[in-house]
Structure 1
Protein backbone atom coordinates (compact mmCIF):
# COMPACT_ATOMS: atom_id res chain seq x y z
CA UNK A 1 0.00 0.00 0.00
CA UNK A 2 1.49 3.42 -0.94
CA UNK A 3 2.44 5.73 1.91
CA UNK A 4 -0.07 8.54 2.46
CA UNK A 5 1.65 11.93 2.34
CA UNK A 6 0.43 14.84 4.45
CA UNK A 7 1.01 17.71 2.01
CA UNK A 8 0.21 20.44 4.55
CA UNK A 9 2.73 18.91 6.96
CA UNK A 10 5.41 18.91 4.25
CA UNK A 11 4.64 22.50 3.26
CA UNK A 12 4.92 23.51 6.92
CA UNK A 13 8.21 21.58 7.29
CA UNK A 14 9.58 23.53 4.32
CA UNK A 15 8.19 26.84 5.62
CA UNK A 16 9.79 26.21 9.04
CA UNK A 17 13.11 25.57 7.29
CA UNK A 18 12.68 28.81 5.34
CA UNK A 19 12.02 30.67 8.57
CA UNK A 20 15.15 29.24 10.20
CA UNK A 21 17.26 30.23 7.19
CA UNK A 22 15.74 33.74 7.12
CA UNK A 23 16.09 34.20 10.90
CA UNK A 24 19.69 32.93 11.01
CA UNK A 25 21.10 34.22 7.73
CA UNK A 26 18.71 36.86 6.43
CA UNK A 27 16.25 36.82 3.59
CA UNK A 28 18.96 37.08 0.96
CA UNK A 29 20.10 33.57 1.94
CA UNK A 30 16.66 32.11 1.23
CA UNK A 31 16.74 29.98 -1.89
CA UNK A 32 15.11 26.71 -2.85
CA UNK A 33 18.46 24.95 -2.40
CA UNK A 34 19.22 26.46 1.04
CA UNK A 35 15.71 25.76 2.29
CA UNK A 36 15.83 22.17 1.02
CA UNK A 37 19.14 21.60 2.81
CA UNK A 38 17.77 23.06 6.04
CA UNK A 39 14.60 20.95 5.79
CA UNK A 40 16.55 17.80 4.98
CA UNK A 41 14.66 17.24 1.73
CA UNK A 42 15.53 17.46 -1.95
CA UNK A 43 15.33 20.72 -3.91
CA UNK A 44 12.87 18.91 -6.17
CA UNK A 45 10.52 18.34 -3.23
CA UNK A 46 10.65 22.04 -2.35
CA UNK A 47 9.87 22.90 -5.99
CA UNK A 48 6.98 20.41 -5.95
CA UNK A 49 5.29 22.41 -3.17
CA UNK A 50 6.47 25.91 -4.09
CA UNK A 51 7.08 26.80 -7.71
CA UNK A 52 8.65 30.16 -6.88
CA UNK A 53 10.40 31.92 -4.04
CA UNK A 54 7.40 34.27 -3.80
CA UNK A 55 5.07 31.31 -3.14
CA UNK A 56 7.44 29.95 -0.52
CA UNK A 57 7.74 33.37 1.16
CA UNK A 58 3.97 33.92 1.16
CA UNK A 59 3.37 30.53 2.78
CA UNK A 60 6.05 31.18 5.44
CA UNK A 61 4.42 34.50 6.24
CA UNK A 62 1.04 32.78 6.55
CA UNK A 63 2.61 30.39 9.09
CA UNK A 64 4.01 33.36 11.06
CA UNK A 65 0.62 35.09 10.94
CA UNK A 66 -1.13 31.92 12.12
CA UNK A 67 1.29 31.60 15.06
CA UNK A 68 0.77 35.25 15.91
CA UNK A 69 -2.99 34.84 15.78
CA UNK A 70 -2.78 31.86 18.13
CA UNK A 71 -0.63 33.89 20.58
CA UNK A 72 -3.10 36.79 20.47
CA UNK A 73 -6.13 34.53 20.87
CA UNK A 74 -4.61 32.73 23.85
CA UNK A 75 -3.51 35.99 25.51
CA UNK A 76 -6.93 37.59 25.05
CA UNK A 77 -8.70 34.45 26.30
CA UNK A 78 -6.76 34.73 29.57
CA UNK A 79 -8.41 38.14 30.11
CA UNK A 80 -11.85 36.58 30.46
CA UNK A 81 -15.07 37.89 28.97
CA UNK A 82 -15.46 41.56 28.06
CA UNK A 83 -12.03 42.92 29.05
CA UNK A 84 -11.67 46.71 29.16
CA UNK A 85 -10.78 48.06 25.69
CA UNK A 86 -7.41 49.47 26.74
CA UNK A 87 -6.34 46.16 28.34
CA UNK A 88 -7.60 44.26 25.30
CA UNK A 89 -5.47 46.35 22.91
CA UNK A 90 -2.42 46.23 25.16
CA UNK A 91 -2.69 42.45 25.43
CA UNK A 92 -3.15 42.00 21.69
CA UNK A 93 -0.30 44.29 20.67
CA UNK A 94 2.07 42.93 23.33
CA UNK A 95 1.38 39.41 22.05
CA UNK A 96 2.46 40.56 18.58
CA UNK A 97 5.75 42.08 19.77
CA UNK A 98 8.95 39.98 19.56
CA UNK A 99 9.55 39.90 23.32
CA UNK A 100 11.24 36.48 23.60
CA UNK A 101 13.38 34.18 21.46
CA UNK A 102 10.46 32.30 19.90
CA UNK A 103 8.62 35.44 18.89
CA UNK A 104 11.88 37.08 17.75
CA UNK A 105 12.37 34.34 15.16
CA UNK A 106 8.86 34.91 13.82
CA UNK A 107 9.47 38.66 13.98
CA UNK A 108 12.65 38.37 11.92
CA UNK A 109 10.78 36.46 9.23
CA UNK A 110 7.91 38.97 9.23
CA UNK A 111 10.35 41.88 9.01
CA UNK A 112 12.25 40.19 6.20
CA UNK A 113 8.99 39.59 4.35
CA UNK A 114 7.99 43.25 4.74
CA UNK A 115 11.32 44.28 3.25
CA UNK A 116 10.80 41.73 0.47
CA UNK A 117 7.36 43.17 -0.35
CA UNK A 118 8.78 46.70 -0.49
CA UNK A 119 10.42 45.78 -3.79
CA UNK A 120 7.78 43.21 -4.84
CA UNK A 121 4.40 44.82 -4.02
CA UNK A 122 2.46 41.98 -5.66
CA UNK A 123 3.76 39.64 -2.94
CA UNK A 124 1.99 41.76 -0.29
CA UNK A 125 -1.57 41.25 -1.51
CA UNK A 126 -2.70 39.13 1.44
CA UNK A 127 -0.80 41.34 3.87
CA UNK A 128 -2.80 44.41 2.86
CA UNK A 129 -6.15 42.78 3.67
CA UNK A 130 -4.91 41.59 7.06
CA UNK A 131 -3.53 45.03 7.92
CA UNK A 132 -6.81 46.67 6.91
CA UNK A 133 -8.81 44.25 9.10
CA UNK A 134 -6.54 44.79 12.09
CA UNK A 135 -6.71 48.58 11.66
CA UNK A 136 -10.51 48.46 11.51
CA UNK A 137 -10.67 46.25 14.60
CA UNK A 138 -8.39 48.54 16.61
CA UNK A 139 -10.31 51.63 15.45
CA UNK A 140 -13.49 49.98 16.74
CA UNK A 141 -11.94 49.38 20.17
CA UNK A 142 -10.40 52.85 20.59
CA UNK A 143 -12.42 55.58 22.30
CA UNK A 144 -15.03 57.21 20.09
CA UNK A 145 -13.65 59.76 17.70
CA UNK A 146 -10.14 58.28 17.47
CA UNK A 147 -10.75 56.46 14.19
CA UNK A 148 -8.54 54.81 11.60
CA UNK A 149 -5.69 57.33 11.84
CA UNK A 150 -5.14 56.60 15.53
CA UNK A 151 -5.43 52.86 14.88
CA UNK A 152 -2.86 53.09 12.06
CA UNK A 153 -0.57 55.08 14.34
CA UNK A 154 -0.84 52.45 17.06
CA UNK A 155 -0.01 49.71 14.55
CA UNK A 156 2.94 51.75 13.25
CA UNK A 157 4.20 52.17 16.81
CA UNK A 158 3.92 48.43 17.40
CA UNK A 159 5.82 47.66 14.16
CA UNK A 160 8.51 50.20 15.04
CA UNK A 161 8.87 48.79 18.53
CA UNK A 162 9.21 45.36 16.94
CA UNK A 163 12.09 46.59 14.77
CA UNK A 164 13.83 48.12 17.80
CA UNK A 165 13.33 44.92 19.81
CA UNK A 166 14.74 42.80 16.98
CA UNK A 167 17.72 45.11 16.59
CA UNK A 168 18.42 45.11 20.32
CA UNK A 169 17.94 48.88 20.70
CA UNK A 170 15.10 48.40 23.19
CA UNK A 171 14.72 45.77 25.89
CA UNK A 172 11.19 44.32 26.26
CA UNK A 173 10.40 46.51 29.28
CA UNK A 174 11.15 49.74 27.38
CA UNK A 175 9.03 48.64 24.42
CA UNK A 176 6.09 47.81 26.69
CA UNK A 177 6.50 51.16 28.49
CA UNK A 178 6.32 52.95 25.12
CA UNK A 179 3.20 50.98 24.18
CA UNK A 180 1.60 51.84 27.53
CA UNK A 181 2.45 55.53 27.06
CA UNK A 182 0.76 55.59 23.65
CA UNK A 183 -2.31 53.79 24.98
CA UNK A 184 -2.49 56.35 27.81
CA UNK A 185 -2.51 59.17 25.25
CA UNK A 186 -5.31 57.49 23.32
CA UNK A 187 -7.46 56.49 26.30
CA UNK A 188 -6.62 59.25 28.80
CA UNK A 189 -5.71 62.32 26.72
CA UNK A 190 -4.35 65.29 28.66
CA UNK A 191 -6.96 67.90 29.49
CA UNK A 192 -6.98 70.90 27.16
CA UNK A 193 -5.67 73.91 28.89
Structure 2
Protein backbone atom coordinates (compact mmCIF):
# COMPACT_ATOMS: atom_id res chain seq x y z
CA UNK A 1 0.00 0.00 0.00
CA UNK A 2 1.48 3.40 -0.97
CA UNK A 3 2.45 5.72 1.84
CA UNK A 4 0.22 8.77 2.26
CA UNK A 5 2.13 11.99 1.59
CA UNK A 6 1.61 15.03 3.82
CA UNK A 7 1.74 17.81 1.22
CA UNK A 8 1.77 20.61 3.80
CA UNK A 9 4.73 18.98 5.54
CA UNK A 10 6.63 18.71 2.25
CA UNK A 11 5.92 22.34 1.38
CA UNK A 12 7.17 23.36 4.84
CA UNK A 13 10.32 21.26 4.39
CA UNK A 14 11.03 23.12 1.16
CA UNK A 15 10.17 26.51 2.70
CA UNK A 16 12.52 25.80 5.62
CA UNK A 17 15.30 25.03 3.12
CA UNK A 18 14.51 28.28 1.31
CA UNK A 19 14.69 30.21 4.60
CA UNK A 20 18.09 28.77 5.48
CA UNK A 21 19.42 29.67 2.04
CA UNK A 22 17.87 33.15 2.08
CA UNK A 23 19.42 33.86 5.48
CA UNK A 24 22.83 32.69 4.27
CA UNK A 25 22.84 34.06 0.69
CA UNK A 26 19.87 36.37 0.18
CA UNK A 27 16.84 35.55 -1.95
CA UNK A 28 18.37 36.73 -5.20
CA UNK A 29 20.84 33.85 -4.97
CA UNK A 30 18.19 31.21 -4.29
CA UNK A 31 16.84 28.99 -7.05
CA UNK A 32 14.57 25.95 -7.12
CA UNK A 33 17.69 23.85 -7.71
CA UNK A 34 19.41 25.33 -4.63
CA UNK A 35 16.35 24.65 -2.49
CA UNK A 36 16.19 21.06 -3.73
CA UNK A 37 19.85 20.51 -2.81
CA UNK A 38 19.41 22.13 0.62
CA UNK A 39 16.30 20.03 1.35
CA UNK A 40 17.89 16.84 0.02
CA UNK A 41 15.20 16.25 -2.60
CA UNK A 42 14.98 16.36 -6.38
CA UNK A 43 14.38 19.54 -8.34
CA UNK A 44 11.30 17.82 -9.76
CA UNK A 45 9.81 17.50 -6.29
CA UNK A 46 10.34 21.22 -5.66
CA UNK A 47 8.70 22.00 -9.02
CA UNK A 48 5.78 19.72 -8.11
CA UNK A 49 4.97 21.91 -5.10
CA UNK A 50 6.08 25.31 -6.41
CA UNK A 51 5.97 26.28 -10.08
CA UNK A 52 8.09 29.37 -9.55
CA UNK A 53 10.57 30.85 -7.12
CA UNK A 54 8.10 33.67 -6.38
CA UNK A 55 5.41 31.15 -5.42
CA UNK A 56 7.84 29.35 -3.11
CA UNK A 57 8.98 32.63 -1.52
CA UNK A 58 5.42 33.78 -0.94
CA UNK A 59 4.63 30.47 0.77
CA UNK A 60 7.77 30.78 2.95
CA UNK A 61 6.83 34.32 3.99
CA UNK A 62 3.32 33.17 4.89
CA UNK A 63 4.82 30.36 6.92
CA UNK A 64 6.96 32.85 8.87
CA UNK A 65 3.87 34.94 9.63
CA UNK A 66 1.94 31.82 10.70
CA UNK A 67 4.76 30.75 13.02
CA UNK A 68 4.92 34.18 14.65
CA UNK A 69 1.18 34.03 15.23
CA UNK A 70 1.34 30.48 16.62
CA UNK A 71 4.16 31.39 19.03
CA UNK A 72 2.35 34.46 20.30
CA UNK A 73 -0.85 32.46 20.84
CA UNK A 74 1.03 29.65 22.58
CA UNK A 75 2.56 32.05 25.11
CA UNK A 76 0.92 32.48 28.49
CA UNK A 77 -2.55 33.94 28.17
CA UNK A 78 -2.25 37.74 28.28
CA UNK A 79 -4.60 39.64 30.52
CA UNK A 80 -4.44 43.14 29.03
CA UNK A 81 -4.19 44.60 25.52
CA UNK A 82 -0.70 45.85 26.44
CA UNK A 83 0.44 42.33 27.32
CA UNK A 84 -1.08 40.99 24.11
CA UNK A 85 0.74 43.60 22.01
CA UNK A 86 4.01 43.08 23.87
CA UNK A 87 3.81 39.31 23.45
CA UNK A 88 3.21 39.57 19.73
CA UNK A 89 5.95 42.14 19.11
CA UNK A 90 8.47 40.11 21.12
CA UNK A 91 7.77 37.22 18.74
CA UNK A 92 8.68 39.48 15.82
CA UNK A 93 12.00 40.68 17.28
CA UNK A 94 15.03 38.48 16.46
CA UNK A 95 15.72 37.44 20.05
CA UNK A 96 16.70 33.83 19.32
CA UNK A 97 18.00 31.77 16.43
CA UNK A 98 14.55 30.92 15.04
CA UNK A 99 13.44 34.55 15.03
CA UNK A 100 16.80 35.69 13.59
CA UNK A 101 16.32 33.28 10.67
CA UNK A 102 12.77 34.53 10.16
CA UNK A 103 13.93 38.15 10.24
CA UNK A 104 16.61 37.42 7.64
CA UNK A 105 13.92 35.92 5.41
CA UNK A 106 11.59 38.89 5.86
CA UNK A 107 14.44 41.32 5.10
CA UNK A 108 15.46 39.35 2.03
CA UNK A 109 11.84 39.26 0.92
CA UNK A 110 11.51 43.03 1.39
CA UNK A 111 14.62 43.64 -0.72
CA UNK A 112 13.34 41.25 -3.39
CA UNK A 113 9.87 42.82 -3.36
CA UNK A 114 11.41 46.27 -3.88
CA UNK A 115 12.63 45.18 -7.32
CA UNK A 116 9.69 42.85 -7.99
CA UNK A 117 6.58 44.65 -6.71
CA UNK A 118 4.22 41.99 -8.07
CA UNK A 119 5.08 39.71 -5.14
CA UNK A 120 4.83 42.38 -2.46
CA UNK A 121 1.05 42.12 -2.02
CA UNK A 122 1.28 39.33 0.58
CA UNK A 123 3.71 41.39 2.60
CA UNK A 124 1.47 44.46 2.42
CA UNK A 125 -1.54 42.41 3.54
CA UNK A 126 0.36 40.92 6.50
CA UNK A 127 1.60 44.36 7.59
CA UNK A 128 -1.90 45.87 7.25
CA UNK A 129 -3.38 43.02 9.32
CA UNK A 130 -0.75 43.55 12.03
CA UNK A 131 -1.40 47.32 12.09
CA UNK A 132 -5.15 46.71 12.41
CA UNK A 133 -4.61 44.29 15.28
CA UNK A 134 -2.30 46.70 17.13
CA UNK A 135 -4.68 49.63 16.55
CA UNK A 136 -7.59 47.54 17.87
CA UNK A 137 -5.63 46.78 21.04
CA UNK A 138 -4.88 50.48 21.52
CA UNK A 139 -8.56 51.32 21.04
CA UNK A 140 -9.50 48.65 23.60
CA UNK A 141 -7.59 50.57 26.27
CA UNK A 142 -9.63 53.70 25.68
CA UNK A 143 -6.53 55.90 25.40
CA UNK A 144 -7.55 59.18 23.77
CA UNK A 145 -4.12 60.80 23.62
CA UNK A 146 -2.94 58.91 20.50
CA UNK A 147 -4.27 58.05 17.08
CA UNK A 148 -4.43 54.22 17.20
CA UNK A 149 -3.61 53.80 13.50
CA UNK A 150 -0.51 56.00 13.65
CA UNK A 151 0.60 54.54 16.97
CA UNK A 152 0.29 51.02 15.49
CA UNK A 153 2.38 52.06 12.48
CA UNK A 154 4.93 53.55 14.87
CA UNK A 155 5.13 50.33 16.89
CA UNK A 156 5.77 48.30 13.74
CA UNK A 157 8.41 50.79 12.59
CA UNK A 158 10.07 50.59 16.01
CA UNK A 159 10.16 46.79 15.93
CA UNK A 160 11.48 46.82 12.35
CA UNK A 161 14.25 49.21 13.35
CA UNK A 162 15.10 47.30 16.52
CA UNK A 163 15.16 44.11 14.46
CA UNK A 164 17.70 45.59 12.05
CA UNK A 165 19.85 46.76 14.94
CA UNK A 166 19.71 43.32 16.53
CA UNK A 167 20.50 41.48 13.29
CA UNK A 168 23.52 43.67 12.68
CA UNK A 169 24.61 43.19 16.31
CA UNK A 170 24.55 46.93 16.97
CA UNK A 171 22.08 46.64 19.81
CA UNK A 172 21.84 44.20 22.72
CA UNK A 173 18.70 42.10 23.08
CA UNK A 174 17.89 43.47 26.54
CA UNK A 175 18.23 47.05 25.23
CA UNK A 176 15.83 46.29 22.37
CA UNK A 177 13.27 44.85 24.76
CA UNK A 178 13.70 47.86 27.08
CA UNK A 179 13.14 50.24 24.14
CA UNK A 180 9.98 48.36 23.17
CA UNK A 181 8.75 48.43 26.77
CA UNK A 182 9.41 52.18 27.00
CA UNK A 183 7.28 52.79 23.91
CA UNK A 184 4.52 50.53 25.21
CA UNK A 185 4.52 52.49 28.48
CA UNK A 186 4.12 55.74 26.53
CA UNK A 187 1.16 54.30 24.65
CA UNK A 188 -0.54 52.09 27.25
CA UNK A 189 0.73 53.45 30.54
CA UNK A 190 2.63 51.51 33.19
CA UNK A 191 1.94 47.76 33.35
Give the TM-score of the pair, scaled to structure 2: 0.89
CA offset at residue 130 of structure 1?
2.0
| Secondary structure of the structure 2 residue equivalent to 1:162 | helix
Q: Which residue of the partner structure matches residue 126 of structure 2?
A: 130
Q: Which residue of 2 is the match for residue 56 of structure 1?
A: 56
Report whether the alignment pairs 1:45 with 2:45: yes
Q: Which residue of 2 aligns with 1:79?
A: 77
Deviations, residues 77-102 of structure 1 (Å, cap 9, x unaligned) = x135xx22222222221121110112
**1:154 corresponds to:** 155
Alpha-carbon separation, structure 1, partners of 2:4 and 2:185: 54
Hey, what's the Cα distance between the residues in 2 that align with 1:25 and 1:120?
A: 18
Which residue number corresponds to residue 35 of structure 1?
35
1:86–1:183 Cα contact (<8 Å) kept = yes
RMSD value, Cα: 1.7
Give the CA deviation at 1:115.
1.4
CA distance in 2, matches of 1:57, 1:158: 23
Superposed CA deviations along residues 111-139 of structure 1, whole A, max 9, x for unmatched, are 11111111112212122222112111211
For structure 1, the 5+ residue unaligned runs are: none
Q: Which moved more, 1:130-139 or 1:54-63?
A: 130-139
- In structure 2, the partner of 1:115 is 111
Q: Tell me which of 97, 102, 109 is aligned to 1:106.
A: 102
Any conservation in 1 of the 2:69–2:88 contact (CA below 8 Å)? no
SS in structure 2 opposite 1:4?
coil
Residue by residue over 1:3-29, the C-alpha shift from the partner in whole angstroms, topping out at 9 and shown as x without a partner, is 332222211111111111112222232
Hey, what's the Cα distance between the residues in 1 that align with 2:120 and 2:162? 21
CA contact (8 A) 1:72 1:96 kept: no
Normalised to the residue count of structure 1, the TM-score between the two structures is 0.89
